[in-house]
Amino acid sequence: MPYLLRYNPHRTALIAFGKRELDNLELSCPSKEGKQGGTATGNMLQSTDTVTLEKIIALAKRRGFIFPTSEIYGGLTSSYDYGPLGAELLRAIRNLWWEEFITHRRDMVGIDSQILLHPETWVASGHVNAFNDPLVEDKETHKRYRADHLIGDWLAQHPQPEEIGVEGLTLDQMGDLIERLQIKSPEGNQILPPRAFNIMFQTAIGVVEGEKQPVYLRGETAQGIFTNFGNILNSGRLQLPFGVGQIGKSFRNEITTKQYIFRTLEFEQAEIEYFFDPESSDWQALFKNWQEAMWAFITDGLGIRAEGLRWRRHSDQERSFYSQETYDLEYRFPFGFKELWGIAYRTDYDLKQHIEHSGRDLRYTDPKSGRSFIPHVIEPAVGINRLLLMALCDAYWEDTQNQRTVLRLKPALAPYKAAVFPLLKNKPELVDKAQAVYGLLSHKFATGWDERGNIGKRYFSQDEIGTPFCITVDFQTLEDDTVTIRERDTMVQERVEIGKLANILREKMG
């Protein structure tokens, strides 16, 4: 068993964001015009938008998507809270994932297991021994860094005549590289040789000091699926192939900091374990089907531009020891292409381990042949928070012509599907009528309300948070019961009857 279960330099080679990197984090993202008017390959893009992580961070804070955790106490490392709009966006992503992969599929069921599992779970899965990051320490300041990140940063600043990859290096190999290239800490000091740092969070159950039982906050949601495999089989009369999905919080004591919500200590995962009979199912075909489903969810489901996505296959060196094949679906974040969603063929590794450690029979018996065996599994695993970051980056658009910032979110993702305005706030008849329209819509979908300032500012304010439609109640409304719908991206307005408003909006939302 390689000592590193998790260490995956490519996946995590996302630079530790120092101030310097943040200043340079710029990506020219293709504009949405490319999607609307261009080709499937995205080569016909007509203009570019500049999206930086700093701009996303600023907008997300200003408009109530994402706040630093415990900010009034100076914040907590690599931890973020989601504000009113962020909570809506998270909920939209979660719901879309659940509908797509659980509700709409006959071969899938969902569960909701605990964050605290029996500690033996993590011994069996290998996390206690091998869920490690490579850590180095500055000899002078005692500050700690991820060795692979440090080496990657150093190589980026000191190009070498020969190509040097950090991918899949062992601790010793990293140590040799640090010595050979005389790599120093960011403060310019010598560093101690790399060592393995276990990133599982430990806590304890019990009330009496000294008698407390150590337990771990789960490092992945997947293990709750494996430990429930027998219960799910017995209660659900399921037949292979079938999958089990769940969404929930996972925790990792990540060494890296300053990666915004891309890499946090606490995050939400949406994981699927797809179980099958390796003798009667072709794993490669299943794997390909899942890759297609993942791609379709991101592009069709979340409305992300295909040109910002790519697949990357893990090399033999990089792949986790339990996996026979691993791909990452990567998104072009402002800091480069990085892992969004992983898919791995985990074989029968996990169930086998739990059978061995628990003594329980977790085999499946084929109802036709009577053959009992341990199913194999394909695992598509994604982070909901990473999906949210991608959605913000992909939607961000500076419409310089109209001097506005727009989040061109797919309506299904937008925190508010519509916003209602009375034209003037000091005309009670307009406000009352607008309130009635708000009541009508807010019972059907999330609806915003704004009566402050001039109407143009209100439109722009909604554009910035991605509201696809703004409904204005004006003096004509009082005469003929019609309102205007103003569309976010085109800014085109049309007048419709209030009686037809909800249906028209639903149709427009697709």
| Residues 423 and 475 sit within 8 Å (Cβ to Cβ) | yes
Piece of 54-62, 137-145, 265-273, 280-288 that binds ligand GAP (CB under 6 A): 265-273
By CB under 6 A, residue 132 contacts ligand GAP: no
By CB under 6 A, residue 339 contacts ligand GAP: yes
Tell me 99's DSSP state: I
| Residue with nearest beta carbon to ligand GAP | 383
Binder among 13, 382, 391, 414 for ligand GAP (CB under 6 A): 382
Piece of 93-101, 154-162, 236-244, 376-384 that binds ligand GAP (CB under 6 A): 376-384
Give the shortest CB-107-to-ligand GAP separation in angstroms.
20
In the numeric block, which tokens belong to residue 104? 């709409």
In the numeric block, which tokens belong to residue 168? 């899949």
Binder among 7, 267, 274, 421 for ligand GAP (CB under 6 A): 267
CA distance 18 to 13: 14
By CB under 6 A, residue 52 contacts ligand GAP: no
Q: Which is nearer to ligand GAP, 189 or 257 (CB)?
A: 257
Tell me 350's DSSP state: H
By CB under 6 A, residue 126 contacts ligand GAP: no
Piece of 40-48, 228-236, 379-387, 473-481 that binds ligand GAP (CB under 6 A): 379-387
| Residues 60 and 392 sit within 8 Å (Cβ to Cβ) | yes
Give the shortest CB-218-to-ligand GAP separation in angstroms.
10
Q: Which is nearer to ligand GAP, 269 or 353 (CB)?
A: 269
Number of residues counted as binding ligand GAP (CB under 6 A): 19
By CB under 6 A, residue 14 contacts ligand GAP: no
CA distance 229 to 362: 7
Give the shortest CB-26-to-ligand GAP separation in angstroms.
22
Integer angstrom CA distances of residue 505 from 399, 437, 449, 499, 508: 24, 13, 16, 12, 5
Binder among 127, 144, 149, 263 for ligand GAP (CB under 6 A): 263
Q: Which is nearer to ligand GAP, 124 or 382 (CB)?
A: 382
By CB under 6 A, residue 318 contacts ligand GAP: no
User: Which residues share a beta bridge with 67?
Assistant: 81
Strands 213-217 and 326-333: unpaired
Burial 278-308 (b: 16+ CB within 10 A, else e): beebebeebbeebbebbbebbeebbbbbebb
Give the shortest CB-284-to-ligand GAP separation in angstroms.
20
Piece of 165-173, 224-232, 334-342, 484-492 that binds ligand GAP (CB under 6 A): 334-342
Piece of 234-242, 305-313, 338-346, 438-446 that binds ligand GAP (CB under 6 A): 338-346
Which amino acid is present at 140? E
| Residues 146 and 256 sit within 8 Å (Cβ to Cβ) | yes
Piece of 259-267, 281-289, 302-310, 420-428 that binds ligand GAP (CB under 6 A): 259-267
Which amino acid is present at 431? V
Q: Which is nearer to ligand GAP, 56 or 434 (CB)?
A: 56
213 Cβ contact list (under 8 Å, min separation 6): 119, 204, 205, 206
Give the shortest CB-435-to-ligand GAP separation in angstroms.
41
Q: Which is nearer to ligand GAP, 153 or 220 (CB)?
A: 220
Binder among 269, 347, 353, 447 for ligand GAP (CB under 6 A): 269
| Residues 60 and 86 sit within 8 Å (Cβ to Cβ) | yes
**Full DSSP string of 231-282:** HHHHHHT--SSEEEEEEEEEE---S----GGGS-SEEEEEEEEEEE-TTTS-
* Per-residue binder mask for ligand GAP (CB under 6 A), 22-51, x = binder: ------------------------------
Binder among 108, 151, 222, 406 for ligand GAP (CB under 6 A): 222
208 Cβ contact list (under 8 Å, min separation 6): none
| Residues 389 and 261 sit within 8 Å (Cβ to Cβ) | yes
Dihedral (C-alpha) 398, 400, 402, 407: value to the nearest 10 degrees? -10
Q: 213: part of which helix (H) or strand (E)?
A: strand 213-217
By CB under 6 A, residue 383 contacts ligand GAP: yes
* Phi and psi angles of residue 233, each rounded to the nearest 5 degrees, phi first: -60, -50
Q: Which is nearer to ligand GAP, 380 or 466 (CB)?
A: 380
Binding footprint of ligand GAP on the chain (CB under 6 A): 220, 222, 252, 254, 263-264, 267, 269, 271, 339-342, 379, 381-383, 385-386
